[in-house]
Amino acid sequence: MPHYGDEWKKIYDEVLNLSRSIFKTDGEVLLLPTAGSQAIEASVVNLVSPKAKVLVGVNGFFGERVLKIARAHGREVVVLEKDYGDVILAEDLEKILMKNEDIEAALMIYSETSTGVLNPIKTYGKILRERDILFIVDAISAYGGVELRMDEWEVDYCVGYPSKALGGLPGVIPVAISKRAWRMIDERGWSPQAWFLDFKVWKECIEEWGPWGHPYPTTMPTHTVIALREALRRVLEEGLENVYRRHRLIASAFRRAVKTMGLKLIAPEDHASPTVTAIRIPQDFSGKLREVMLKKFDVMIAGGLGRLAGKIVRVGHMGYTAAERYISITIAAMAYALRELGFRADFFKALRAFYEALGH
Ligand SMILES: Cc1ncc(COP(=O)(O)O)c(C=O)c1O
């Protein structure tokens, strides 16, 4: 499949439209053939002027990454910092903005994959808009699994993801840009120190090369875009509300089972992400727990990142794994592994809690 031409144009346009309906935006969507981190980097490069002050919300490893990205580009950063596992509330945002009146953009994480905290980004938009601050959101582990309403929530730039909750393949990152952000790019009186990441370059391609099916500056990995189309179609066929409900239900039932096993969660219940759960593991056993689960049950879960390395495990219940048959096995494997390591984890009680929460 060539990455241009009439046949390709139809596919590409369909993918943009499907992506748009998950972002819930009338704005522009681009597919960046890269990793999520570079899609975040693109927001700094394009939307944060070199002399501007930018606010970064940090309550986990991925917030810290955004901070590193902003600093790597020499931007002056105001950090809204909370402990790993704490939530960034609208009032935290308001407080820090009152002390810093010259902030031009705010970069926030929606689902903090390192802690399983879902930051209440829908409560941030109004506060930022009132102060004319551009609102940039990393929705990487939420996209396609957690409610997202970019336009309604006044988000100006939002990073989605193909291979987490959407259940597709990695390789192209859907990003959405609000009309306001495009205008700002059009009117900005400075040039980013980038070419590939400069959205003005992309805009020229949309205008000049779009008609023959090449609305981007470089080669597009067509097979990866077709895989993204499949993932988007599946999610939209199931229905966004159904998909979001499935994620919420499986996640809360899983958290119940985990608590029944006597373990503690990192995220508070009322701000827990529907796609990922981080669990505190006592006595540095997280590596061993993961090893037993993988070797004996073929169940792969993740460890902690950054400050939480060695202290937690993380379970993804996103995309097709947000399902009874995957998570029941995960609970069984986890309870078995905990017993092997000398903890009293009641396998039956945990599964009963899970099924009861699912309404069985
Ligand atoms: C919230 C969040 N932000 C950023 C990233 C980085 O994405 P990538 O590894 O594609 O650069 C991840 C990856 O897990 C993530 O979960």
Return the best residue to mutate from 140, 275, 277 for the ligand 1 pocket (most ligand atoms within 8 A of CB).
Answer: 140
Residue 344: its pLDDT value, please?
87
Q: How many CB atoms sit inside 10 A of residue 268's CB?
A: 13
Of the chain, the percentage scoring pLDDT greater than 70 comes to 100
Query: What's the pLDDT at 278?
Result: 98
User: What is the CA(356)–ligand 1 centre distance, in A?
Assistant: 33
What does the pLDDT average to over 75-80? 98
Mean pLDDT of 142-170: 98
Task: Compute φ and ψ for 280, nearest 5 degrees.
Answer: -75, 130
Which residue has the least CA distance to atom 7 on ligand 1? 36
d(Cα 128, Cα 106) in Å, to the nearest integer? 8
Nearest CA to ligand 1 atom 8: 36
What tens digit of pLDDT does each residue of 83-105 get? Answer: 999 999 999 999 999 999 999 99
Give the residues surrounding ligand 1 with Cβ less than 6 Å away.
35-37, 62, 109, 113, 138, 140-141
Q: What is the average per-residue pLDDT within 107-131? A: 98
Give pLDDT, residue 283.
81
Whether the per-residue pLDDT at 162 is higher than 90: the answer is yes
Q: What per-residue confidence (pLDDT) applies to 48?
A: 97
Q: Which residue from 59, 141, 166 has its CB within 8 A of the most atoms of ligand 1, so it is best to mutate?
A: 141
pLDDT digits (tens, 9 = 90+) for 310-358: 999 999 999 999 999 999 999 999 999 999 999 988 889 999 999 999 9
Pick from 50, 272, 59, 31: nearest CA to 166 = 31
* Residue closest by Cα to atom 14 of ligand 1: 113
Contacts of 84 (CB under 8 A, 6+ apart): 59, 60, 61, 114, 115, 266, 306, 307, 308
Ligand 1 atom at shortest distance from the alpha carbon of 141: 16
What's 220's DSSP letter? -
Q: What's the half-sphere exposure (Cβ side, CA atoms, 13 Å) at 172?
A: 26
Q: Which of 233, 220, 55, 46 is nearest to 144 (CA)?
A: 233
CA 351 to chain centre: 29
The ligand 1 atom at the shortest distance from the C-alpha of residue 161 is 10
Q: Which of 305, 284, 297 is nearest to 335 (CA)?
A: 297
Exposed/middle/buried for 80, CB within 10 Å: 0-12, 13-18, 19+?
A: buried
Q: Measured in angstroms, how far is the CA atom of residue 335 from the centroid of ligand 1? A: 29
* Side-chain half-sphere CA neighbours of 73 within 13 A: 27
Query: Which atom of ligand 1 lies nearest, measured to the CA of 38?
Result: 11
pLDDT tens digits, 13-44:
999 999 999 999 999 999 999 999 999 999 99
Residue 318: the pLDDT is 98
- For the residues 218-231, what does the mean pLDDT come to? 98
CA distance 317 to 268: 17
Percentage of the chain lying above the pLDDT 90 cut: 98
Tell me which residue has tokens 């209440």: 120
Residue 62 has pLDDT above 90, yes or no: yes
Separation of 333 CA from ligand 1 center, angstroms?
Answer: 27
Which of 37, 41, 107, 159 to mutate to test ligand 1, by most ligand atoms within 8 A of the CB atom? 37
User: Bridge partners of 272?
Assistant: 117
Indicate the DSSP class of residue 273: -
Residue 170 CA to ligand 1 center (angstroms) comes to: 11
Measure Cα distances from 260 to 50, 277, 328, 339 in Å: 50, 15, 14, 14
* Tens digit of each residue's pLDDT (9 = 90 or more) over 252-299: 999 999 999 999 999 999 999 999 999 999 888 999 999 999 999 999
Confidence (pLDDT) at 282: 85
